[in-house]
Amino acid sequence: MKSVMIIFNQSNTARVEYMLDILGIKGFTFFEQVQGRGTNGGEPRRGTHAWPEMNSAVMTVVQDDQVEKLLESVRKLDLRNPEIGVRAFTWKIDEMV
Amino acid sequence: MAIYKTAIEKPVTTVLIFIAVIIIGIYSFIKLPIDQFPEMDPPYITVMTTYAGASASEMETNVTKVMENALTSVDHLKHITSQSKDNLSMVTLQLEWGSNMDEAVNDVRSFVDMTKNNLPDNCGTPMIFKLSTSSMPVCAYSFTADETYPGLDKILNDEVIPQLNQVDGIGNISLSGSPDRYVYVDIDQQKLDAYGLTLEQVGQVVQANNLNLSSGTIKMPQEQYQMQVRSEYIESSEIENLMVTMTPQGQQVFIRDIATVKDTIKDLTLDEKTDGRESVRLVVAKQTGANTVKVCREIYKELQKIQKQLPADVKIEQIFDSSENIQNSINSLEESIGYALLFVVLVVLFFLGKWRATIIIGITIPIALIVAFIYLGMADSSLNIISLCSLTIAIGMVVDDAIVVLENITRHVERGEDPHEASIYATNEVWVSVIATTLVLVAVFVPMTMLSGMAGIMFHELGWIVTIVCCTSTIVAISLTPMLCSKLLKAKKVHVDENGNLVEDEAEKKTWYDRSVVHALDKLDEYYAKALGWCVGHKFITLMLLLAFFVASLLPVFTGKIGTDFMQEQDNARLTVKVKLQRGTRIEETLKTARKLEGRFMQIVPCIELINTSAGSNDEATISAMFSSTMNNTIQMTIRLPRKWNREQTIWEIAETLRQEMARYPEIIEYQCTTSGFGGMGNNSVDIEIYGYDFDITSKLADQCRVLASALPGARDVKISRDDDRPDIKITIDKEKASRLGLSSAMISTYLRNRVSGMASGYLKDDGSEYDIVVRLQEKDRNSISDVLDLTIPTPAGKKIKLSEVAQIGEYWAPPTIERKARQRIVTVSVTPYKTSLGELAKQVQANVLPQLDLPIGYSVNLGGSYEDQQDTFNDLVLLAVLIILLVYIVMASQFESLRMPAIIMFSVPFAISGVIFALWIAGRSLDMVGALGVVLLIGIVVKNGIVLVDYINLMRERGYELNTAIQMSGRSRLRPVLMTAFTTILGMIPMAISAGEGAEMWQPLGIVVIGGLTVSTFLTLFIVPVLYGVMSRHGDRDKQESLRKKFIFMDLKVKKNS
């Protein structure tokens, strides 16, 4: 079991939701309006005057075999709209209730 | 949920809400009446008091002064003026424009009631009049006739007026110069004396034979009848055959033996001619609140119908029709609005290059304008010059908000976002700043609604309309615009090729637009960025150059190239000529001059369409008599010219030609040729007010003023308000002699009146109308002083004496009407400017006339008239400008959360003034009230450019760019939006500035001022604001880093390991 956190520009919301649906990932936690900035050229999303845009995040816990497919899709989404921006991070889940 | 999100999620509701708004707006629009100006009650109240037998100066001391003292405490009083004439005192209160007149009238009434006891015993009850717009004539027609002229009065009263009265909203209809039928019995004094008769006896005979009397009832066995003596005259000729007396010799004396009976029209006192033909003037007023245009149109239609029923020689011609002027003005303004709309849409299309985007932006204009109609409907206002001007001003501004929103959404969509999501999130990013920029406009226009005085009346509506329109446009921009974007904008088309690569669609193919316009704009951006780079590098030189430019631009003002006016006069194709001949000139002589003038005028100005002349006085106090003050020695002409686009000369040139003609006549002692006509709005004069008690001294001063003022090059129509002394014939009765003969002064005056003016002896009834029968002496027995002395007067003892036995006769000069203002006697010399501005003329008067007056102690001179109104209005507007600058500063300071940024932006305002000066100079115009208002508006309009620039530089700085780079980048990026908003406003104003329609003189200055100010200021703002930003920022930002370091001092700590 792995946790995948996808952080994306909020304009990508519909696309991310579609992606999860297509991949048959049912469970996730949605964080609306999160701030952040990227390390490698990622424009800050701070909801301020200078950086008015905002991100959202989805955290989903999936089986190990689904991770690769999910990351692949995220990569595709990033290819489609590199300027809008989407990132995904995974870590291991030890236990769950 | 935010408004834009709701709008995007519920497109049907959104569209339907706006459709509902549009429907209500169209409904209001259809219902709106058309008028020239917003409804305004002229703030004048007159208190009229009669006191029989008092001379002018007695009137002044006993009545006028008492009244004035009481009435000075009326609230909102601006000026108190009065006129004291023989038997009559008129105190006029001028209140502040916009005061509540009903309250004021009540106030006046209570003050009048309080003073009633202080008035002399025989005074009549003071009457209080309120001048209202409904008493002003809306149109006038002349009825000319040849053969039927004597019967014209009857035709008008019985046929025309009753039909016209059926028109909805019609007020008073009055006739002037209509021929009244009179039956005169002109008696020969000598024959009367020879038969030993008195005039009164004849009068009584005439009266006694003219009656219908009920003389009881006759009862017959079965029936009962009323018995009546019917002996009323059927024909006037019956009078001739009445027997007056029988001589001792038994000879019967009939009226025909001693008198001639004339069934004719009343003796000439007021002569009315149209194009030299006998005519009657029909003047129509409307009811308060009625639609002028509708009333006039209906009257015109009605008269067309009536014309067919009238005898063939009766012609109806229009003397003036105020609706024509209104309708033309409104039409030309509506045209301006139409063009403005078109231009604005074209500008948007030019800069955006996409028709979908243009539609989205364009749709905000009609919606915002339609909401203005809803406001007008709810405020019971009308479609008038002010409301339509406001809409023209607003058109250029309403698109700005929508453009900002649309641009941001487009940027998101072009990045590849889905239009639906892009619309939500892109609007979210900008909606607060869109509202903030609207607040700047609100800060400019809301204070305008609080203006007082005349300007308040005019600009109250403007303030509200622009505020409402701008707020509506903001609401549209954050609801309908994003909703339409989400539906109409297309996402960037991409597809995936067989290798799984992303392929952009052929949409990237360069269009004509990209190759030409975008290319040119890119070049422009580049040049601008370069120029800006140079300026930022040479800040001192740039600032010095700009300062030099500003100082140079002020030169035309200091060299007197820009004059000031109150309001531009309008060329409404109507001239009023007033001519005064020597005092006491007989009406017949006056008429000869009038005919001569008419003939000459027609000759020298062939394009004249109609001349309506009245001369003499109408002794009946009708409403129209209030507006035309003619005396025996005065001629008043209304001249109708073709519309201004149908003739070569302007109305002022024609007026000047006529003036030159009138100057050639020795018998004319005073003449004016004015262009304003009724309504009184375009009145344009400098009044020299001379205060002082002694008539001789003030009259002399006034005369001196007139001579000096007439010598000024730009002065025309110099007029002294005080009439010359009037020559009267005074009859002094020797009371002792009279009382010995059993006569009293009252009896003698009645006898005199009967003989000269005539004794009313009943009526001749004909066809339901009654005509006066007047018994009097024939004219040759009463038209010289010796004839008057020779009048026979009966004594109670039956003797007959001559007037010379009991009275002396003498000529003397009756004192003129005593005019007062601010409780002092006053005489006014008014001067009208020609080919110069009001302000210039006032300056000339101040420099060349006033210093030369030798004012004794207790006498003072003041400049008034339109000049005073102008000064008041300009003061009000300056105050307004200061208020607006402060408010705009506050709004901007809170927007930027900085006191420095608004100050930088405010530097664009002086350059707007430079632009205004240049524009006025080039157009050869003077600054008037409307233009000054334009200057005030500019404050709000030009700062918007600065806001856009500063906001973006701030953004770039916050994103961490170096100062100069940030400035250059922002300049390059914001050039287009700045140019776009400026061009929409400028082009929106162009139709207004170049419009040649009727009444255009009035609003042209507004267009000229805004275009000039905005053009120059936009261009210079692009340099001054970034440069000043550079000057004012560097220092502060270094400090900022230092202070941040100090704030987070913990970072400087050294951490010891293993501690």
Report pLDDT digits (tens) over B739-768: 998 888 888 888 888 888 788 888 888 877
Residue A54's Cβ-side half-sphere holds a number of Cα atoms within 13 Å equal to 17
Amino acid letter, B611: I
Give how far Cα B80 sits from Cα of B83, B544, B713, Å. Answer: 11, 53, 33
Give how far Cα B969 sits from Cα of B186, B534, B874, B1030, Å. Answer: 100, 14, 42, 13
Residue A83, Cβ density class (10 Å: 0-12 exposed, 13-18 middle, ≥19 buried) = exposed
Place of tokens 């990045």: B415
pLDDT above 90 (res B501):
no
Strands B726-733 and B807-814 turn out to be: antiparallel
Q: What is the pLDDT of residues B661-714, one digit of tens each?
A: 888 888 888 888 887 644 444 467 888 999 998 888 888 899 889 889 888 888
Nearest-neighbour CA in chain A from B412: distance (Å): 9
Nearest-neighbour CA in chain A from B912: distance (Å): 29
Q: What's the complex ipTM? A: 0.86
**The pLDDT value given to residue B506:** 58
* Mean pLDDT score, B816-820: 83
Residue B898, Cβ density class (10 Å: 0-12 exposed, 13-18 middle, ≥19 buried) = middle
* Mean pLDDT score, B915-922: 92
How far is the C-alpha of B344 from the C-alpha of B399, rounded, in Å? 8
Q: Which residues of B touch A52 (CB under 8 A)?
A: 428-430
Give how far Cα B12 sits from Cα of B19, B364, B370, B487, Å. Answer: 10, 17, 20, 11
Q: Which residues of B touch A54 (CB under 8 A)?
A: 425
- The model's confidence at residue B905, banded by pLDDT at 50, 70 and 90, is very high
How far is the C-alpha of B652 from the C-alpha of B233, rounded, in Å? 56
Establish if B420 touches chain A: CB-CB under 8 angstroms.
yes
Chain A / chain B CB contacts < 8 angstroms: 41
Q: Which residues of A touch B412 (CB under 8 A)?
A: 11
Q: Is residue A11 part of a domain?
A: yes
Q: Is residue A39 part of a domain?
A: yes
pLDDT above 90 (res B11):
yes
Nearest-neighbour CA in chain A from B521: distance (Å): 25
**The pLDDT value given to residue B532:** 92
Amino acid letter, B163: Q
Residue B57, Cβ density class (10 Å: 0-12 exposed, 13-18 middle, ≥19 buried) = middle
pLDDT above 80 (res B508):
no
Residue B814, Cβ density class (10 Å: 0-12 exposed, 13-18 middle, ≥19 buried) = middle
Establish if B704 touches chain A: CB-CB under 8 angstroms.
no
**The pLDDT value given to residue B623:** 35
CA nearest A47 in B: which residue? B429
B734: Cβ–Cβ under 8 A, 6 or more apart, which residues? B806, B807, B808
**The pLDDT value given to residue B25:** 94
Best probe of the B interface among A9, A49, A78, by most B CBs < 10 A, is A49
Nearest-neighbour CA in chain B from A36: distance (Å): 14
Place of tokens 């622009």: B466
Q: Indicate which CATH number applies to the domain containing A80.
A: 3.30.70.120
Q: Could you tell me which of B927, B803, B938 has the C-alpha nearest to residue B881?
A: B938
**The pLDDT value given to residue B619:** 46
Establish if B955 touches chain A: CB-CB under 8 angstroms.
yes
Q: Is residue A63 part of a domain?
A: yes
Nearest CB to A83; choose among B416, B420, B955: B416
User: How many domains does chain A contain in total?
Assistant: 1
pLDDT over 70, % of chain B: 95
Interchain proximity B958–A50, CB inside 8 Å: yes
* pLDDT winner (highest mean) among B52-56, B563-567, B902-906: B902-906
How far is the C-alpha of B1038 from the C-alpha of B319, rounded, in Å? 76
Nearest CB to B416; choose among A10, A50, A80: A80
Torsions phi, psi for A7 (to 5 deg)? -115, 125
CA nearest B897 in A: which residue? A49
Q: How many CB atoms lie within 10 A of CB B300?
A: 16
Give how far Cα B598 sits from Cα of B334, B663, B933, B996, Å. Answer: 38, 15, 42, 30
- Lowest model confidence (mean pLDDT) among B388-392, B462-466, B836-840: B836-840
What percentage of chain A's residues is helix, strand, coil (to nearest 5)?
A: 30, 30, 35
Interchain proximity A50–B429, CB inside 8 Å: no
Interchain proximity B415–A81, CB inside 8 Å: yes
**The pLDDT value given to residue B768:** 78
Interchain proximity B415–A51, CB inside 8 Å: no
**The pLDDT value given to residue B620:** 40
Strand, helix or coil for residue B788: helix
Interchain proximity B421–A80, CB inside 8 Å: no
Q: Could you tell me which of B201, B182, B183 has the C-alpha nearest to residue B191?
A: B201
Looking at residue B648, the DSSP 8-state letter turns out to be S
Interface of A to B at Cβ within 8 Å reads 10-15, 48-54, 79-81, 83-84
Q: Is residue A47 part of a domain?
A: yes
Nearest-neighbour CA in chain B from A93: distance (Å): 33
CA nearest B429 in A: which residue? A52
How far is the C-alpha of A6 from the C-alpha of B266, rounded, in Å? 105
Place of tokens 């834009």: B4
Interchain proximity A11–B429, CB inside 8 Å: no
Interchain proximity A10–B421, CB inside 8 Å: yes
Interchain proximity A49–B959, CB inside 8 Å: no
Torsions phi, psi for B828 (to 5 deg)? -115, 135
Cα dihedral B265, B268, B270, B273 in deg (nearest 10): 70
Interchain proximity A54–B425, CB inside 8 Å: yes
Q: Is residue A21 part of a domain?
A: yes
Interchain proximity A49–B502, CB inside 8 Å: no
* Mean pLDDT score, B426-439: 88
pLDDT above 90 (res A29):
yes
Domain of A50? 2-92
Strands B127-130 and B44-50 turn out to be: antiparallel
Place of tokens 């053009």: B1015
Give the tokens for residue B895. Answer: 């927007």
How far is the C-alpha of B67 from the C-alpha of B123, rounded, in Å? 12
Best probe of the B interface among A11, A15, A86, by most B CBs < 10 A, is A11
| pTM of the shown model | 0.82
Q: Which residues of B touch A15 (CB under 8 A)?
A: 418
Interchain proximity A84–B415, CB inside 8 Å: yes
Mean pLDDT, chain B, as a whole number? 85
Q: What is the pLDDT of residues B39-77, one digit of tens each?
A: 777 788 999 888 877 778 888 888 999 999 999 988 888
Q: Is residue A60 part of a domain?
A: yes
Nearest CB to B417; choose among A11, A52, A79: A11
- The model's confidence at residue B1036, banded by pLDDT at 50, 70 and 90, is low
pLDDT above 70 (res B499):
yes
Looking at residue B847, the DSSP 8-state letter turns out to be I
Interchain proximity A14–B420, CB inside 8 Å: yes
Q: Is residue A71 part of a domain?
A: yes
**The pLDDT value given to residue B677:** 46
- Crossing angle of helices B419-448 and B385-414, in 10° steps, is 150
Q: Which residues of B touch A48 (CB under 8 A)?
A: 958
Q: Is residue A97 part of a domain?
A: no
**The pLDDT value given to residue B268:** 60
Nearest CB to A14; choose among B415, B416, B421: B421
What percentage of chain B's residues is helix, strand, coil (to nearest 5)?
A: 55, 20, 25
- Distance in Å from the first CA to the final CA of chain B: 54
Residue B54 C-alpha from the chain's centroid: 37
Q: Which residues of A touch B417 (CB under 8 A)?
A: 11-12, 81, 84
